[in-house]
Amino acid sequence: MSENLKKTPLHAQHVEAGGRMVPFAGFEMPVQYSGVVDEHKAVREAVGLFDVSHMGEVEFTGARALEVVNRIITNDLDKIADGQAAYTVMCNESGTIIDDLVVYRFSAERILICVNAANREKDFAWMEKQTNGDCEVKDVGDDYAQIAVQGPNAEALVARLTSTDVKAIGRYWFAVGKVVDVDAIIARTGYTGEDGFELYVASADAPKVWNALLEKGADLGVKPAGLGARDSLRLEVCYPLYGNDIDETTNPYEAGLGWVVKLKKAGDFVGKAALEQVKADGPKKKLVGVELVGRGIARQHYPVLVGGEKVGEVTSGTMGPTVEKPVALAYVPAEHSAVGTDIQVEVRNKPIDARVAKKPFLQK
């Protein structure tokens, strides 16, 4: 594998566990260990561990930190409390998506933002420019490792390694405490559609925490899980993936993320005027769920047809191991976006009957 690829602090653990390493967003990351289906099911039925240390983190500090971040993101940090997190997007002036983020509000003077690995440099440059000296903004991505503990047994597992009352941490809240004996941010967040936690620890502490999770979770069915399962898990619950389903050509209303755009929040934010216009006019295309009626699996970039004409494209698609059927997301013109609409997906030059499906595919 190329020597230019970066390694996370858990690289040795992945190799030791038989992880199949692949290049991803400039890192050498495990795509699978025991197998995508096995890992996917472990997360849905027990608990899985993901190394997500490749994700970036940016910290805003200073008297005006909250005001600055609120001007950069579409969601509203005034509506959440200290100790709470929010999912959001960050748009440019034309209202299209620079990245999707999870924002952690420690206080009005300290905000931590988790960004996609592939967007780290781009996001930081944009954030620095928008901040314009109004508060401190620092790329702290190299300081943090991040371990996602996901699945119905996640709470029981994390509880074994900390004196923090993890039961008391609500969905999209977080606490600062010790895990094993190291400092950690214990956030009840994730990207799988299951209950779970994301543990932010110092990079040097990551192997200790990872090993302890595997050791203490054996009777809870814990397994390390790779990027393959991460993708099939998020797709069954229709969480968008930046670079596939959302990017700088799509706006949040088209992506079904209108709920993170708070047009009425106090003060202006980047992209507001453009997004007000999109909302007034209605989005021209929409990200929909696609289910195939005929045999096949819809994959990224496969054309979507209506009446034999190409009207859109699949942005993500795979076989869903829990729903046991192919699952896909695609952009289609708004007039063809209603659930139940008959469409076709071109699979290897052959049109296969399909329909617009209710999202998410996995109903819990």
Partner 1 sequence: MDKHFPEDLQYTKEHEWCTVKDGVATIGITWHAQDALGDIVFCELPQAGEKVTAGEAFGVVESVKAVSDLYSPITGEVVERNDDIMEKPEGLNEDMYGDGWMIRVKLSDASELEALMSKADYEAFLAEEEG
**Given the complex with partner 1, which of 289 and 326 has the nearer CB atom?**
326
**Given the complex with partner 1, which of 17 and 31 has the nearer CB atom?**
31
- Report the DSSP pairing between strands 47-51 and 222-224: parallel
Among 36, 69, 148, 261, binds partner 1 (CB under 8 A): 36
Taking CB under 8 A as the rule, does residue 351 contact partner 1?
no
Among 56, 224, 228, 252, binds partner 1 (CB under 8 A): 228
C-alpha closest to that of 130 among 272, 274, 270: 270
Residue 315 sits at φ, ψ, to 5 deg, of -105, -25
Largest separation between any pair of C-alpha atoms in the chain: 62
- Contact letters for partner 1, residues 277-316 (x by CB under 8 A): ------------------xxx-x-----------------
Taking CB under 8 A as the rule, does residue 231 contact partner 1?
yes
Taking CB under 8 A as the rule, does residue 232 contact partner 1?
yes
Taking CB under 8 A as the rule, does residue 49 contact partner 1?
no
Taking CB under 8 A as the rule, does residue 5 contact partner 1?
no
Taking CB under 8 A as the rule, does residue 53 contact partner 1?
no
Among 37, 80, 260, 323, binds partner 1 (CB under 8 A): 37
Among 260, 319, 323, 362, binds partner 1 (CB under 8 A): 319
**Given the complex with partner 1, which of 100 and 231 has the nearer CB atom?**
231
Q: Where are the beta strands (DSSP E) in 129-265?
A: 136-139, 144-150, 174-179, 182-187, 196-202, 222-224
**Given the complex with partner 1, which of 217 and 321 has the nearer CB atom?**
321
Instruction: Locate 64 and state its tokens.
Output: 């005006």
**Given the complex with partner 1, which of 74 and 318 has the nearer CB atom?**
318
Taking CB under 8 A as the rule, does residue 2 contact partner 1?
no
CA pair distance 258, 23, nearest whole angstrom? 33
Within 13 Å of residue 314, how many CA atoms lie on the same side as its CB? 27
C-alpha closest to that of 313 among 327, 301, 325, 323: 301
Size of the site for partner 1 (CB under 8 A): 19
Q: Whole-number minimum distance, CB 24 to partner 1, in Å?
A: 12
Q: CB under 8 Å to 308, separation ≥6 — which residues?
A: 344, 351
Q: Whole-number minimum distance, CB 288 to partner 1, in Å?
A: 22
String of DSSP letters for 31-95 = EESS-HHHHHHHHHHSEEEEE-TTSEEEEEESTTHHHHHHHHBSS-GGGS-TTEEEEEEEE-TTS
CA pair distance 199, 179, nearest whole angstrom? 9
Handedness of CA 324, 329, 332, 336 (dihedral sign): positive
Taking CB under 8 A as the rule, does residue 245 contact partner 1?
no
Among 348, 349, 363, 364, binds partner 1 (CB under 8 A): 348
Subset of 88-127 contacting partner 1 (CB under 8 A): none
Taking CB under 8 A as the rule, does residue 32 contact partner 1?
yes
C-beta atoms surrounding 141 within 10 Å: 22
CA pair distance 79, 75, nearest whole angstrom? 9
Among 31, 80, 214, 362, binds partner 1 (CB under 8 A): 31
Taking CB under 8 A as the rule, does residue 23 contact partner 1?
no
Taking CB under 8 A as the rule, does residue 364 contact partner 1?
no
Instruction: Locate 348 and state its tokens.
Output: 């290897």
- Interface with partner 1 (CB under 8 A): 31-32, 35-38, 40, 228, 231-232, 295-297, 299, 318-319, 321, 326, 348
